[in-house]
Chains A and B, each alone.
Chain A
Amino acid sequence: MKIKHLKVFSFLFFLLSLQSCIDTYDIDFSQKNNVLVVEGFLTDDYLNPDTIKIQYSNFVDGNTFLSSITSVKASIVWQSGKETSLIEQKTGGFLPPKDFRVNPTEKYALRFSLPNGQQYESSYEQISVTPPILKVYDRFNPQSKLSDDGKKFLSANEVYVDFQDVPKQKNFYLWRYTHFERIVHCLTCYASQYEPKSDKCSIKLPSFNRTPYYDYQCAGECYEIIPSKQFSVMSDVVSDGEVVTGRLIAKIPYHFIYGCLVEIQQMSISPQMYSFFRNLELQGKSNGGLADTPAAAIVGNINNLGSSTEKVVGYFGVVSLQKNRYWIERKSANGPYEYIINHVPFEEPPTSSDPSRPPVAPCVKSEFRTPFRPQGWL
């Protein structure tokens, strides 16, 4: 046998052996827990302040949901001794008073008490200047990331920012974004049809011989508001004082052929806050690879004053925001869509007997949807 034949045989053998490397693994997620979670920062964006939410995250039978806590008393504590009560909102969460302004020379902490008498307080944080975003740009990458099961690549428009790092000091940055996508379908009915009068999927269909759902178009314009799936953090340890270019801060999936809008928020954060969000970023990125960081509890700077063993998830930060609204054209995007509704749309077919069908579904305003065109939408 000649050497080239050996290579060919070996190569064929190797191809035979290249099968899927990732399979689902059974883990019993039947545990129950509820963990206190604190979201939101104290910012210098006084027109659109962050809502500080104090909730329980519950995990029951493999499902995660948030439950609100009533009669929470929350305040901002100034290191100089002052205390400002936060105002509870009807929709949940707390906002600082409208005339509250962050003093750059002051340090602030979050203090709150629960109806069960437990008292909590964060460490003190101080605002620092955030440099403006110099430039935002995007690039379509057909192999932007692997699917969860590792079996295919998913495409995305990758969004990058450039900014001038503040020289001669240690700086840490955090980015979050909100992604706006125009949607066509506002409602999906499973094994049923939409009934506009009751505004429910109340017409049951016993035999459903195709896809087990119908999608209903929106009554007018409707936009999905998609918050960041991940935080992105960076230290200027290698780029002190330089113009930082090409910082990847978002991967926007190829949902549709039309463009979409991304509102980017850039903020300077404290080193402790950087450590917390870096740990969070690493925990979310785990892919079973060789360099995965060990599993670690995501515990921030909020402590139960009566029990050192309680682990509260969340970090109370005081930050200055720099914003940029960026339009993604998706001109070079191609390939299969990653549908927002998580399935290929299938509309109820029209019938000659009832011209009112299929009906349209209203675009109901919520935290994640709006009928109003977002500012910056082209």
Chain B
Amino acid sequence: MYSKLLITALLLCVVSSNIFSQTSHAIIVSVRDSSDNTPLKDVVIKIDAKRANLSSNNEGIHTFFLPTGEFGITISHLGYRTFRQKLLVKNSEISLTVSLINVAKELDEVTVNSQAINGNVARPLLGVSALSIKAIKKIPAMMGETDVLRGLQMLPGVTSVGEAANGVNIRGGTTDQNLILLDDTPIFNPTHLFGLFSIFPPDAVSGLELYKGGIPAKFGGRASSVIDINLINPSLDKFKMTGGISLVSNRLTIETPIVKEKLSIMVSGRVSFNDFIFKLGPPKLQNIKANFYDVATKLFYKMNAKNTFTFSGYLSKDFFQTDLLGTIGNVNATSTQYDYQTSNAALKWFHAFNSKLNLQTSAIYTDYQPKTLLPELNSDNKVSLESGIIYNQLKASLNYNLNEKHRLEGGISTILYRINPGVLNPGSSKSVNYKSVPEERSTESGIYLEDEFTISKKLTLSAGLRYSFYNALGGTVRSYNPLFSKTDFNVTDSTIYKSGETSASYGGFEPRIALKYSLSELSSIKLGYSLMRQYLQVVSNTTTPLPTSRWATSNTYVKPQVSELYSGGIFKNSQNNIYEFSLEGYYRSTENVLDFKPGADFLFQPYIETQTLQGKGKAYGLELMIAKKKGEVTGWINYTYSRALNQVKLSDRFDEQINGGAWYATNFDRPHSFNATISLSQGKHHEFGFTFVYNTGRPFTVPEGFVQYNNVKYPYYVERNNDRIKDYHRLDFSWTIRNPSMTKKRWEGSWTFAVYNLYGRANAYSVYLRSEKGLNAYQLTIFGSPIPSLTYNFKFM
């Protein structure tokens, strides 16, 4: 110690004359590791961006000289977060102690893979991504609305048909092949404003897990993926309030204990009422009316150390009117209005028998009620078309950590679906009759067992087996003349089933297997196989389903979709788990994919088999992902090559095949996809975010030419999806200033300035043809210019 002081003193003496002649002052900086206080040598110190002339010792003490004045000091060291500060040099020497944060020992800034440290390499999980709300909030938001689904689209294998898409397409699946769960309750319409924003309140969500490969046996009922979104658990000891104001909506979330350490509640609300701005837009937007609100709540009761109860509730409502959508042709209305509501509730009881065995029992209820309102000419009356799904589920799961080698989970589940395909309520209309299509009832049950078996230090097997069985109850089942297409005119007989009587039943095993072999502590290879059965689907022949699109369960003729997924991958992490690398490949084949006859119409159609076609689907791809999880610069980039193709040929009849029975690209077949999400943190107060998205343009149908029929030119289509719209790319930017007052208060505000589509790329949403004034093709762009936004967020703790 004496020797160090001596060196310092000598150094001071040597340069003293210089100091006094230039009125310089010694700056003595002690740099240490924040976690264990180890002195750090060989650091780089810069003064006003220029490297300082240092003298250093082994104790991490660095000395240099500065004249009187104000300087910016930056201290950096490999593997540590850079330190920045303003330095005011007056008339004396300055001693500064700086603790640099070791990046490797930080908590992950972004989580884009399995949550446990090294979990992506160590566990037999394939095609699983976890995205924390912290990571989602770092992504520049469109119009200031933090959006879970847009965050999801930054992951490999996740795309959509465009900006106004009512859902996402995962590994070539349709939007209805994704099981979206919000605190275990299913979501049938995941977007507000016809696909512009997702319905998940950002302040109430803790994060999401996407299962697109190895889907755990506890999940069933969808052919493509599971998106498991969780609401935050309210704190049992602290009050917390967060919120924000943006152009689109205003938000407020409150978490508070009701009985400390026993009972707490979270309530989160979001409301929008800014549709007046559409009137100032181009003509196409002027008649839009659009408002929404959503409320999420969670009540948490810790009865004792072994028993907890949780109640989750969610309510969402939208009202939308636009000329961009067609009307219901058989009702004479002046416009079309959409009004749709989701009400979800889940009650869960968690009981721990001991540290190894626990039981979770849940009762789940979802009620999705879309409504189409049709104002009549010269009248105040609105005819309404109401439909809906009521979903009731009971499930229980038992988790048992048998020993270090076996982690077992088993459970049972049963669902009752009650689908109202459509009720027409004429109100006071004299032209329209009351009409309804009989309610469709069905049950779907499942039983499963799964074991994560650590066979050896290197080899782990996850083996799950689910058995699902489905019953369609009641209704009328027609017989059709097999020589003709199934239409209303070829019915030969009908069988009426009583309510509760099984009219059709399906079922089967659903194996889920994944194998992990560790190449080293930081790398592994994995193989997986999953089989999924889907009994519930959207019947909609539009590019993206509308919120009012009809849902239907399988029946005698509409067979369940069955998909088989084969996947494999290589996973590697860098030392200290700062970087993650993965390369995954998959091939999925699906039986009984749903497609539709030309001009299909499901309105008031009890027999959907007269409008539907079923065929085969295949999807395959390769996904490459690199993530940096810690440090000043975090984020991930990924590239995906994928294809999604369908084949439909029921017979040689024109209306029972598509493209002559050849394989054709689906609407969301986008072979090349590249996403980059970069977040740059500059101290405690500034953060910059960038996202870049590139996708091959999606397929659309170009006519072979035009035909003139009755003095009108019509496009003459021969093949479906025989061309592609132009490629999609977009760059977004955000700048967040946290706590601008820089004082520590309970109320902390932050501003986010974001620009969506920074370079104003006019990405085509769709291409359509018009022939009234010559033959012209037009592209519809949803956001064709940069969209700046400013959002104020706050938290009070």
Contact = CB atoms under 8 A, between A and B. Distances in A.
A22 B770 CA distance: 13
B285 interface: yes
B776 to A, nearest CB: 6
Contacts of A11: 247, 277
Interface stretch (A84-92, A201-209, A293-301): A293-301
Interface residues of B, number: 99
B720 A295 contact: yes
B705 A32 contact: yes
B768 interface: yes
A296 B599 contact: yes
A234 B330 CA distance: 5
Given A62-B775, A244-B431, A299-B654, A285 B326 contact: yes
Contact of B703 (A280, A295, A299): A295
Given A22-B778, A287-B324, A291-B325, A66 B766 contact: no
Given A21-B284, A290-B194, A150 B778 contact: yes
Contact of A296 (B280, B598, B700): B598
A236 B377 CA distance: 18
Identify which of A15, A59, A279, A342 gathers the most chain B CB atoms within 10 Å of its CB: A59
A16 interface: yes
A265 interface: no
A88 B706 CA distance: 27
Contacts of A291: 324-326, 542, 546
Given A29-B705, A239-B330, A290-B544, A64 B713 contact: yes
Nearest to B162: A290
Interface stretch (B53-61, B467-475, B785-793): B785-793
A248 B330 CA distance: 11
Interface string A20-46: 111111110101110101010000000
Secondary structure type dominating chain A contacts: mixed
Interface residues of A, number: 97
A132 B426 CA distance: 24
Interface in A227-274: 227-231, 233-248, 271-272
A19 B784 contact: yes
Nearest to B705: A59
Contact of A288 (B144, B601, B779): B779
B488 A23 contact: no
B707 A290 contact: no
Contacts of B786: 16-17
Given A160-B377, A286-B769, A242 B654 contact: no
A304 to B, nearest CB: 12
Contact of B783 (A17, A243, A286, A296): A17
B546 A284 contact: no
A27 B702 contact: yes
B280 A298 contact: no
A292 B768 contact: yes
B280 A15 contact: yes
A21 B782 contact: yes
Contact of B706 (A64, A229, A231, A297): A64
Interface string A57-99: 1010010111000000000000000000000000000000000
Interface stretch (A307-315, A320-328, A350-358): A307-315
A150 B284 contact: yes
B764 interface: yes
A115 interface: no
Interface stretch (A2-10, A183-191, A215-223): A2-10
B119 interface: no
A152 B283 contact: yes
A39, A64, A176, A279 — most chain B CB neighbours (10 Å): A64
A149 B778 contact: yes
Nearest to B424: A238
Q: Which interface residue of B143, B599, B706, B775 has the most chain A CB atoms within 10 A?
A: B599
B430 A245 contact: yes
Contacts of B709: 37, 39, 57, 280, 298, 313-314
B541 to A, nearest CB: 6
A47 interface: no
A239 B751 CA distance: 55
Contacts of B489: 271-272
A283 interface: yes
Contact of A290 (B144, B245, B542): B542
B483 interface: no
B427 to A, nearest CB: 12
A310 B598 CA distance: 17
A369 interface: no
Contacts of A129: none
B712 interface: yes
A308 B330 CA distance: 33
Contacts of A280: 709, 714
Contact of A238 (B435, B652, B711, B713): B435
5 contacts: A7-B245, A17-B788, A21-B285, A234-B329, A278-B329
Interface of B: 143-144, 164, 166, 194-195, 245-247, 277, 280-285, 287, 323-326, 329-332, 376-378, 424, 426, 430-433, 435, 488-489, 541-544, 546, 596, 598-599, 601, 603-604, 652, 654, 700-718, 720, 723, 751, 762, 764-770, 772-773, 775-790, 792
